[in-house]
Structure 1
């Protein structure tokens, strides 16, 4: 039946054209974006999984960046540790050379002093992004440990977990303000050096007429006592780092090694306080002068010793070592430096192990990022061969549908010709 009111053929052709156009638009989107799941409406489950995995992939990228920073920090620490081992080797060589008879220790000390300055510079410079694994300022856990982010995981419940690689800095710190660094002897002293407090506590600076052991006078340290006699007004005698340097020279680094050093310093201190050389010599000759007893002979007034300690002299390191003049036990110092070489070599090996682990973890993370990307593609990427082929087919179908609609719309004009 032919109807002028309702053109069923045109309606059918138009409906087919609409369906083809919708399919064509969908396929065109896939070809343009490369995705078969762009929004949740396309496939809610796949879209949700893909979105979560993309987020995790970005997080893993941040983990990779964090490991790069950690790797650089380890590299800097290793370079500093390796340079330290080399400088310690050089210092030991100088000490061995100084053991030879006839060698001028003062000149050798100047060479050692330059190596010490370079060693200090290496330790200070071994820093990356504000982190220096070769120095510390205390013994608390937060100062002697650090962590490098090494992984990002999501458990079965969907909760996020970060993985960290802990580093024990107590095995790498060379100098610590609180002592205990690899180049320090904690509260003990380099070549048994102590400070005013340690030397005084072990029986004074003289015991039974003998010097009780070497010690170091650091900047900020001072020792004072009051003395006087029938012909000498009460005076206050003070010994500090400036006085030690003026008597022994700066190469001694404030270290008093023996009786002759101590006598020279006390003599100068008494003279500076207003006493005479004869008074000073008599005072130093009395072994009880630096004990808790009272002096005898010329002086009938002796006040207890007062000590001001800077608190840092007990943390003696290789940087405080000196062989100036005839001071110091070279055999002991060579042994201590050799011990430091062994400990820093072990620390360098530990840093090398950390480098290896970080390299492996970094390679795994890169592989994991690629694998996640592949997994996301499997879920949401379009098959471009199929999509392009389908696009071509739909374009041809569209052309045919347009032609069919045109034919359907041309039927009524042919009917009008019947009335002519």
Structure 2
């Protein structure tokens, strides 16, 4: 049926053309933007995932920049540490030369003065972006630390974590304003001299002067942390009395670097810094001497004896033990420590041998510090490469989700343009039907 009021063919052609135009507009948008999914209306799920991934990629970009900054800081510290090792080697050479008979120590000291100034210059110059890991003014280097950003992670629950590498600056500081640096004498708040043994020697002395009754406990305050170096040794002899005039055989107890390594591990580097560690080291020394905890026990004080160490001889294998005496207390090693800046061999009484020993210890400590920095350098390099790969993976993942296939889009655009032309032709034909009907009235 043909009608002047309603042209069904034109309506159908117009609807088809409208659909074609909509698809053509969408395809043209894909071709111009390069995105298959450009807004949440296109695909809410994929758009949301891609948006989150873009945000994570930007965060990883910031992490990459932070890693580069951290790497530069480590590189500067390592370079200065390496230069310091060279200067220390030269100072040791000068000290060895000073041992030659008839040598002019005054002239050698002038060379050492220049080397000491060079060390100070190296330490002061080891700064990057306002950070200097080789110098400090900290009362307690044990709390001196920093971090280097190393990673960014999004968890399954949507929360994010920022990873970082902890750097213990107490192991990198060469010169500290309060003392205790790797090239200085120990400060009062750092590692005290081994001869004190954190108050343990005072505890032994108190037993020697005033024997302990069986089952009793003697407490003495823990003074401070201390370092047991190679060659240091604390020895003492115990002679328990069983009562009735009889005595047990003497037992010799020795505490040295191997004892500390056995109790705390080699990673402690001979440092005993807490009461708990001192208890472990002393108990290990007693055990090595063949004594069990039923013979003798060292305790960490509690209650009124907090921050104290205690020694107890229970009523065990010693049976009716009445007294315990400490005999032949001796300390070996423990050369007096001196800072690199304080060494002066110009006087005839200068202890050059001790200076050489101290410089050797400094070389060992600085070498360990440089090794620590080197390991951080290696980790940051690996993390930087991984972060770059991760950013590339995110970029590819985002593209897979939302990028348009330009080959497909261009072909579809050509097809839709052709369909649009055909639709417009069909609409023109449908509209001409009314004109044809007018011929019937002529």
Same fold, TM exceeding 0.5?
yes
Given the alignment, which residue of 383, 394, 398 partners 2:420?
398
Q: Hey, what does 1:124 align to over in structure 2?
A: 124
Q: Hey, what does 1:336 align to over in structure 2?
A: 358
Does residue 87 (structure 1) correspond to residue 109 (structure 2)? The answer is no
Q: Hey, what does 1:372 align to over in structure 2?
A: 394
Does residue 389 (structure 1) correspond to residue 411 (structure 2)? The answer is yes
Contact 1:175 1:317 in 2 (8 A): no
1:161 partner SS: strand
Change (3 A) 1:123 1:185: same
Contact 1:178 1:315 in 2 (8 A): no
Q: Hey, what does 2:185 align to over in structure 1?
A: 185
Q: Hey, what does 2:144 align to over in structure 1?
A: 144
Does residue 351 (structure 1) correspond to residue 391 (structure 2)? The answer is no
2: CA distance, partners of 1:8 / 1:174? 93
Does residue 413 (structure 1) correspond to residue 435 (structure 2)? The answer is yes
1: CA distance, partners of 2:158 / 2:141? 32
Change (3 A) 1:155 1:384: same
2:128 partner SS: coil
1:410 partner SS: helix
TM-score, length basis structure 1? 0.67
Deviation of 1:166 (Å): 0.7
Q: Which segment is superposed worse, 348-357 or 384-393?
A: 384-393
CA RMSD of aligned residues (A): 1.9
1: CA distance, partners of 2:337 / 2:34? 66
Contact 1:136 1:143 in 2 (8 A): no
Q: Deviation string for 1:290-328 (max 9, x for gaps)? A: xxxxxxxxxxxxxxxxxxxxxxxx995201211124241
Q: Deviation string for 1:88-134 (max 9, x for gaps)? A: 01111111122222222111111111111111010001011111111
2: CA distance, partners of 1:59 / 1:139? 37
1:153 partner SS: strand
2: CA distance, partners of 1:187 / 1:169? 16
TM-score, length basis structure 2? 0.64
Q: Hey, what does 2:26 align to over in structure 1?
A: 26
1: CA distance, partners of 2:402 / 2:132? 46
Q: Hey, what does 2:158 align to over in structure 1?
A: 158
2:184 partner SS: coil
2: CA distance, partners of 1:3 / 1:48? 51
2: CA distance, partners of 1:143 / 1:37? 52
Change (3 A) 1:23 1:142: farther
Contact 1:67 1:150 in 2 (8 A): yes
2:147 partner SS: strand
Q: Deviation string for 1:217-261 (max 9, x for gaps)? A: xxxxxxxxxxxxxxxxxxxxxxxxxxxxxxxxxxxxxxxxxxxxx
Deviation of 1:394 (Å): 0.5
2: CA distance, partners of 1:187 / 1:52? 52
2: CA distance, partners of 1:391 / 1:142? 69
Q: Deviation string for 1:12-60 (max 9, x for gaps)? A: 1111111100000011111111111111111111111111111111111
Q: Which has the larger radius of gyration?
A: 1
1: CA distance, partners of 2:413 / 2:355? 85
Count residues with an aligned counterpart. Answer: 296
Given the alignment, which residue of 346, 362, 380 partners 1:324?
346
* Structure 1: gaps (5+ residues): 193-313
2: CA distance, partners of 1:144 / 1:316? 22
Deviation of 1:142 (Å): 8.4
Deviation of 1:143 (Å): 5.3
Q: Which segment is superposed worse, 140-149 or 22-31?
A: 140-149
2: CA distance, partners of 1:338 / 1:407? 102
Change (3 A) 1:187 1:3: closer
Contact 1:174 1:184 in 2 (8 A): yes
2:95 partner SS: helix
Q: Hey, what does 1:70 align to over in structure 2?
A: 70
